[in-house]
A and B are shown apart, each in its own frame.
Chain A
Amino acid sequence: MTWADTLLLLPELIAATGASILLIVPVLGGRARGHMAKWAMLALMAVTALAVIGSTYAVAGVQQTPTFRAMFAVDAFSVFFKLLFVVVIALVTLLSEDFLSEERYSTWEYYSLLAFALCGMMFMASGVSLITIYIGLELLALSSYILAGYYKNHEESTEAAMKYFILGTVSSAILLYGISLIYGVCGSMRLSTIAAALSTMLSNDALMFGIMLLAAGLCFKIAAVPFHVWTPDVYVGAPTPISAFLSTGSKAAAFAVFARVFYVAFPAFHLDWSNVLAAIAALSMIVGNLAAITQTNVKRMLAYSSISHAGYSLLGIIAMNEMGLRGILIYTMVYVFANLGIWATILMLRRHAYAGESVEDFRGLHKRAPFAAFSMVVFLLSLGGIPPTAGFIGKYFLFAAAVQAGFGWLAIVAVVMSAVSMFYYLRLVVAMYLEEGSGAETIYSPSLRFVTALSLTVTLVVGFIPELPIRQVIESSSHLVGRVVQR
């Protein structure tokens, strides 16, 4: 470990240090100044973002520099995801503001846990060894369990935390068992060494079992069927900004890991695992979308919709080609921003801690808040994959990748299910524009306005000028794909 290595770790070090400082501020007498926590958190996010960008200069000109004995890498792929995570956490901070002050819970600890979660997510994006990846994942998971139960006076929140905790720890144990079997077969936990060992190996039971257990653990994190049962309950019970975080940041981090592990370590056995993942993807799309149709609670509907989106994104991993990797990166970004915008609108409609939930609350929204209603339509269209929005670009990449890789039937399922999803997305649009009614009152604070505006900008810019972000994404994914092509 050299000085340069430490510089590469700077974003994670800053996030961890910042989180620790946020944690001790209330002990030092900052509890009274709860409103300052938001600004401290936003400043921390700005510094972290600068450090992420700065760390790229440390590796400028080098395609990939694994450091710390090939356990941690700063490359375009990880930088792309880290910047996305920082933006997500900053936006979740803005979403949390009114919610926290209304409910009179401590703010410093809340933001501290978010910063720890960010640290874990960044380690997940940079991890090139199963050890680093597992520890990053657990840091994120442990912070998420506490955040899901943060409203400890609300029974729903505690119950959500309990369910999330039990199922989450079981899935971590399963993932860990997978890692141990892969270690046993390959003799190493570094992704590149695993890939090298596998390229000279015939398929064997222990290895396939290990890969399947690892995939099962990761499928829990991205909420794919049949590991999805926790999702609706946790999204409904957890504090709304945390539901927003779980459905965006936490999922994006899991996808970063999923993509990196399967693209780098397991290309040799693509034929063996791709069919299993294809079944999981098809089930997620079908179950997620069909279950969403029957929901009357908007949060529950979003939970099932997020299950179906996990299915779409899995196409990129199954396809295992250049197009697929680009699809994952671009779709993750597109999905994250559309979802954050929708959660911002839900937060705007709350009456008490848990309002803004039923479809009726959205009635006649275009009269009370025209901008929010309009942007909501754009986000819903983006999730549905309708052309002038960003969602279309993301889905185009994913579906094309699946066809290219010979999974035409899966692409057909995906297209049909996207059409089905428009049914329940449009139900909200109808409620907002065509149905008369008082609905819920709206509290549209500047922070929520900002989140909506930023998400809207990203969704429209990616939709109308796709070349701009796509070039970034191509550059970002090239080195991982390079390996696939080599093999």
Chain B
Amino acid sequence: MPGIPTNYFLILSAILFTIGVCGVLTRRNGITIFMSIELMVNAVNLTFVAYARQFHSLHGLIFVFFVMAIAAAEAAVGLAIFIALYHHRDTIDVDEANLMHW
């Protein structure tokens, strides 16, 4: 295949996914954690697109649209939960969420 080899995309998406995982594990602000999760999802999208390009198949591309729609719905639900949390304690720091032992 001409152009950039598929492996390059896969390595990039693996790096992005890892950055996302590190963000989730190290950040304490709810919104930043959520952004890291979005990064993980988009890294996966890149994998799908790279494979779809390699296979000349539409399946991977179409799945990416579904994933995007679901990520948008996830964002709506997540932000609503964080707002509700902010009402209770004026912070969305997840370490403060310790009513029940974690």
Q: Report the Cα distance A152→B77, complex, angstroms.
A: 13
Q: Chain B at the A interface: mostly helix, strand, loop or mixed?
A: helix
Which A residues lie within 8 Å of B55 (CB)? 187
A7 interface residue (CB < 8 Å to B): no
Which A residues lie within 8 Å of B20 (CB)? 173
A146 interface residue (CB < 8 Å to B): yes
Which B residues lie within 8 Å of A134 (CB)? 66
A149 touches which one: B37, B40, B81 (CB < 8 A)?
A: B81
A183 interface residue (CB < 8 Å to B): yes
Q: Chain A at the B interface: mostly helix, strand, loop or mixed?
A: helix
Q: Report the Cα distance A169→B88, complex, angstroms.
A: 23
Which B residues lie within 8 Å of A177 (CB)? 17, 40, 43-44, 47
Contact digits for B18-42, partner A, Cβ 8 Å, 1 yes 0 no: 0011001000001001100100110
Contact digits for B43-70, partner A, Cβ 8 Å, 1 yes 0 no: 1100110110011010110010011001
Contact digits for A132-162, partner B, Cβ 8 Å, 1 yes 0 no: 0011001000100110010010011011111
Which B residues lie within 8 Å of A172 (CB)? 74
Q: Is A131 a contact of B63 with CB atoms below 8 Å? A: yes
Which B residues lie within 8 Å of A293 (CB)? none
Q: Report the Cα distance A387→B88, complex, angstroms.
A: 48
B24 touches which one: A155, A170, A232, A233 (CB < 8 A)?
A: A170
Q: Is B77 a contact of A165 with CB atoms below 8 Å? A: yes
Q: Is B40 a contact of A135 with CB atoms below 8 Å? A: no
Q: Report the Cα distance A118→B100, complex, angstroms.
A: 29
Q: Is A135 a contact of B66 with CB atoms below 8 Å? A: yes
CB within 8 Å of B: which A398-432 residues: none
Q: Is B37 a contact of A188 with CB atoms below 8 Å? A: no
Given known contacts A155-B89, A177-B44, A135 and B30 CB-to-CB distance under 8 angstroms: no
Q: Is B77 a contact of A142 with CB atoms below 8 Å? A: yes
Contact digits for A174-187, partner B, Cβ 8 Å, 1 yes 0 no: 10110011011001
Which A residues lie within 8 Å of B89 (CB)? 155
Q: Report the Cα distance A327→B60, complex, angstroms.
A: 35
Q: Is A183 a contact of B102 with CB atoms below 8 Å? A: no
Q: Is B40 a contact of A159 with CB atoms below 8 Å? A: no
Q: Is B81 a contact of A189 with CB atoms below 8 Å? A: no
Q: Is B99 a contact of A159 with CB atoms below 8 Å? A: yes
Given known contacts A142-B73, A162-B82, A188 and B47 CB-to-CB distance under 8 angstroms: no
- Nearest neighbor of B82 in chain A, beta-carbon distance: A162
Contact digits for A112-139, partner B, Cβ 8 Å, 1 yes 0 no: 0000000000000000000100110010
A163 interface residue (CB < 8 Å to B): yes
Q: Is A142 a contact of B74 with CB atoms below 8 Å? A: yes
Closest 4 pairs between A and B when the two form their complex, measured CB to CB: A173-B40, A180-B47, A184-B51, A233-B100
Known: A131-B63, A170-B40, A180-B44. 5 other contacts (CB 8 A): A131-B59, A142-B77, A174-B40, A180-B47, A232-B100
A–B complex contacts, Cβ < 8 Å, 18 sampled? A138-B74, A142-B70, A145-B78, A149-B81, A152-B84, A162-B30, A162-B85, A165-B77, A166-B37, A173-B37, A173-B41, A177-B44, A180-B60, A184-B50, A184-B54, A187-B57, A189-B59, A237-B99
